[in-house]
Amino acid sequence: MDFRLSPEEENLRKSVEEFVREDLIPLEPEFENAPDIFEGSRWKSRAKLSHDPEVKRYVEMMENLEKQAEARGLWYLDVPKEYGGAEVSNVAMIAITEELEKTSIPFELGNHVSNILYNCKGDQVDKFLRPCIRGEKTSAFGLSEPASGADPSMLQTTATPDGDDFIINGTKMFPTFADVADFVQLFARLPGTQGREGVTCFLIDTGTPGYRVVRSIATIAGTEPCELVFENCRVPKSQVLGEVGKGWELNQAWLGTRRFQVGIRSHGMSQRVLRAVAHGFRHDSEETERAASTIGFFLGELEALRTLTYLGAWKADQKLDVRTEAADVKLFATELLHEVIDFALEIVGPSALQKRHVIARTFRHARSRRIVEGPSEIQRHIIQRALFREGVTLLELI
């Protein structure tokens, strides 16, 4: 087991470190007063549609940063070589995100490309995949439904074959940015199937007849998921992503790799919160001494989270089955971040409840992370299932 980066990856990490130090950190004071939309990644889709001059000013700043990052060769890092990217390893992507998390500027390197879109074939590549890589199109992810969220195998949206098409009927809850995305990756099941069987993923353009955005839902996390309804929405077979009936594997692949990024992001957010607590310390008080010992304990746990995250990413690079590691990281990361924030709010007191305070801001994102992309209970369930499946092997380690 070796998490060291190759010399090229180490150079890349150093370039990101430099970019963060030279281009992002100097903008932090300016971003303290940024409109709310610049918390998280909302600005990438919604803010660009705004006519508010102040929002436009920040969008311009972000777009300049994109140009600077691209000029430094830091843009298409996780994109496969066949599409012109650097195809860096999972471990290197964790190291890069760790550098980015050293600043509070909500800046991500690269355009959002859902990893399952790399299953695009034929005309799908030029219609959906390449425009996402270039940042010209965005997509939403439509899996959760009113009666199937934590357990997506209960999904009820149907895809009924009809000649060369499928007819989609059903409701999707919470696909983030579906109202501003160019298309949705929609999961539906073939008639008469149950559980994981028959699940199929479709790429459906916004505005296709029968596809309706019912509402967008403002959340404390800053993102705005939507409710989507499909009523006799006709989609050609050519817009099936992957194979008919093999969509379950795609939704699992999407969730799996994201969980390691959640690990390193939660690590960075926790450190920023603990720094905010430490800044407020009065060095002579007993209370400070007690808080310092708790911070010391958290730092130990954070180092464990960091190691677990790198280990999972390394295993993913070795093409090992990382379902349990991904669940471990998602659970540990989001629960630990929540504990750190709760402690920070307690120590700093009412001033940390101001809407723009770093602790309050982080709280809003952190709470939803324990639910989104698989709630904590489901991660516990995955770990417990692995324990029963592998039983003795896992317990021997204890």
Ligand X SMILES: Cc1cc2nc3c(=O)[nH]c(=O)nc-3n(C[C@H](O)[C@H](O)[C@H](O)COP(=O)(O)OP(=O)(O)OC[C@H]3O[C@@H](n4cnc5c(N)ncnc54)[C@H](O)[C@@H]3O)c2cc1C
Interface with ligand X by CB under 6 A: which residues? 141-144, 149-151, 174-176, 219, 221, 223, 225, 368, 371-375, 377, 381
Using CA atoms, how far apart are residues 313 and 89, in angstroms rounded to an integer?
8
Whichever of 225 and 247 has its CB closer to ligand X, that residue is 225
Smallest gap from residue 139 Cβ to ligand X (A): 10
Q: How many CB atoms lie within 10 A of CB 367?
A: 17
Whichever of 131 and 374 has its CB closer to ligand X, that residue is 374
Residue number of the CB closest to ligand X reads 149
Whichever of 287 and 342 has its CB closer to ligand X, that residue is 342
* Closest among 361, 362, 363, 359 to 349, alpha carbons compared: 359
Which amino acid is located at 279 in the chain?
Answer: H
Q: How many CB atoms lie within 10 A of CB 356?
A: 11
Whichever of 65 and 371 has its CB closer to ligand X, that residue is 371
Paired with 88 in beta bridges are none
Smallest gap from residue 143 Cβ to ligand X (A): 3
Smallest gap from residue 16 Cβ to ligand X (A): 27
Token pair in block for residue 130: 């390449």
User: For the chain, what percentages of helix, strand and coil (3-state, to nearest 5) are there?
Assistant: 55, 15, 30
210 to 182, 189, 387: CA distances (angstroms): 15, 17, 44
Smallest gap from residue 251 Cβ to ligand X (A): 9
Using CA atoms, how far apart are residues 292 and 295, in angstroms rounded to an integer?
5
Whichever of 92 and 337 has its CB closer to ligand X, that residue is 337
Smallest gap from residue 5 Cβ to ligand X (A): 31
- Are 12 and 99 within 8 A, CB to CB? no
* Closest among 22, 50, 26 to 38, alpha carbons compared: 50
Whichever of 223 and 271 has its CB closer to ligand X, that residue is 223
Strand (E) or helix (H) holding 216: strand 211-216
Smallest gap from residue 377 Cβ to ligand X (A): 3
Separation of CA 270 from chain center: 17
Using CA atoms, how far apart are residues 338 and 382, in angstroms rounded to an integer?
21
Smallest gap from residue 72 Cβ to ligand X (A): 30
Whichever of 42 and 306 has its CB closer to ligand X, that residue is 42
Smallest gap from residue 3 Cβ to ligand X (A): 30
Helix axes 247-279, 286-317, angle to 10 degrees: 150
Smallest gap from residue 301 Cβ to ligand X (A): 22
Whichever of 159 and 347 has its CB closer to ligand X, that residue is 159
Whichever of 171 and 288 has its CB closer to ligand X, that residue is 171
CA angle 253/372/276 to nearest 5° reads 115
Whichever of 228 and 347 has its CB closer to ligand X, that residue is 228
* DSSP code per residue over 130-169: HHHHHTS--EEEE--BTTBSS-GGG---EEEEETTEEEEE
Pairing of strands 225-236, 165-176: antiparallel
Smallest gap from residue 65 Cβ to ligand X (A): 25
Using CA atoms, how far apart are residues 183 and 132, in angstroms rounded to an integer?
10
